[in-house]
């Protein structure tokens, strides 16, 4: 057995890998939340962001594969560790759980880790079905035949150069069931993060009593920020009656306008928004190069 295999077969090795992958996923959540916040600036901003992101093509696919690998490794390590602990010391494991410091979520965090992690995984699958692949039909009465003109496409093409993520997001969150599922999903992610964030740092060696209180506070704060941030989107849609882009501005406007004219109009507005994003950065050209 190789040295790497020996390390990964030990509890310490599994904890180390789970800690690294967990913190990487926390970083992804921060970036994803930051990108989603562009929706509050209007459809041009979020559409320009999504169009530029999906224009990466194969690079984006490689990033998604890497992210999926991180998820899989994290989940496998988590289930293996839990199974090992319970099989070796079932009574001690239960006793240890009851002695853990309770978080702002009322229950001891470890009690929720497997449950919340499983529900978070199910929510992620739903989110991918909705936003990445568009496999779950969402009926939006504002748009007749929303799928006809590429409303669900992801990669920009000459025929449909803009990714209409704004309309897609609003249409999904307008349905009561989706709004409830998305809100519950991020709440369970918050449960998971309340313990997972600080546990990730402890697995990397930051277990000194000097760091414990700070890590506990940071973990709870991070969980609250992420939960409130993502939950704000369905609340915003329902509290303010947010609608998709009106027909005269959207991808399915009045019958007198051709699909090409509509796409050109949206593309020009999205390009302007993208230019504004680049110009507002400390070094516009540098940030553009980094993003691509």
Each residue's pLDDT expressed in tens, for the chain with a length of 292 residues = 577 777 778 888 999 999 999 999 999 999 999 999 999 999 999 999 999 998 898 999 999 999 999 999 999 998 888 888 777 765 554 554 444 555 444 454 555 788 888 899 999 999 988 888 777 765 444 333 344 444 445 667 777 777 788 988 998 999 999 999 999 999 999 989 988 999 999 888 887 777 788 898 999 999 999 999 999 999 999 999 999 886 344 443 333 333 444 445 555 655 655 565 555 544 444 334 333 3
Buried-exposed string 19-33: b where 16+ CB fall within 10 A, e elsewhere = bbbbbbbbeebeeeb
Query: 145 exposed, middle or buried (CB, 10 Å; 0-12, 13-18, 19+)?
Result: exposed
259: helix, coil or strand?
helix
In this structure, are residues 197 and 219 in contact, taking their beta carbons and an 8 Å threshold?
yes
In this structure, are residues 240 and 232 in contact, taking their beta carbons and an 8 Å threshold?
no
Helices (H), the chain: 3-9, 11-36, 43-54, 58-88, 90-99, 109-127, 165-174, 176-203, 209-239, 259-280, 284-291
Quote the pLDDT of residue 144.
36
pTM of the model: 0.74
In this structure, are residues 21 and 67 in contact, taking their beta carbons and an 8 Å threshold?
no
| Tokens at 194, concatenated | 């309340």
Cα–Cα distance, 46 to 35 (Å, whole number): 8
Cα–Cα distance, 110 to 167 (Å, whole number): 38
32 alpha carbon, distance to own chain's centre: 5
CATH numeric code, 3-91+104-291: 1.20.1300
Quote the pLDDT of residue 83.
84
Domain spans of the chain, in order of start:
3-91+104-291
Quote the pLDDT of residue 249.
43
Radius of gyration of the chain (CA): 22
Quote the pLDDT of residue 48.
93
Cα–Cα distance, 249 to 231 (Å, whole number): 27
In this structure, are residues 218 and 178 in contact, taking their beta carbons and an 8 Å threshold?
no
């Amino acid at each position: 057995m190789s040295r790497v295999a020996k390390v990964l077969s030990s509890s310490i090795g599994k904890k180390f890998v789970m800690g690294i992958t967990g913190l990487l996923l926390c970083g992804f959540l921060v970036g994803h939340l930051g990108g989603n916040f562009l929706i509050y600036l209007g459809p041009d901003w979020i559409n320009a962001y999504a169009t530029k992101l999906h224009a990466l093509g194969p690079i984006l696919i490689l990033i998604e594969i890497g992210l999926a690998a991180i998820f899989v490794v994290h989940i496998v390590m988590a289930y293996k560790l839990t199974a090992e602990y319970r099989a070796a010391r079932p009574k001690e494991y239960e006793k240890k759980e009851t002695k853990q410091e309770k978080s702002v979520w009322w229950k001891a965090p470890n009690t929720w880790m497997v449950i919340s992690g499983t529900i978070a995984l199910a929510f992620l699958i739903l989110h991918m079905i909705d936003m990445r692949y568009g496999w779950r039909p969402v009926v939006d009465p504002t748009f007749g035949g929303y799928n006809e003109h590429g409303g669900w496409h992801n990669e920009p093409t000459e025929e449909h150069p803009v990714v209409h993520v704004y309309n897609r997001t609003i249409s999904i969150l307008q349905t009561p069931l989706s709004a409830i599922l998305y809100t519950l999903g991020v709440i369970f992610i918050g449960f998971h993060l309340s313990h997972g964030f600080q546990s990730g740092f402890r697995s990397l060696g930051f277990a000194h009593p000097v760091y414990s209180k700070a890590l506990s506070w940071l973990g709870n704060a991070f969980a609250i920020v992420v939960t409130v941030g993502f939950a704000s989107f369905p609340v915003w849609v329902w509290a303010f009656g947010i609608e998709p882009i009106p027909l005269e501005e959207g991808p399915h406007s009045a019958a007198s306008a051709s699909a090409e004219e509509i796409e050109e109009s949206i593309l020009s507005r999205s390009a302007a928004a993208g230019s504004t994003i680049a110009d507002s950065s400390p070094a516009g050209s540098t940030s553009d190069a980094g993003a691509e």
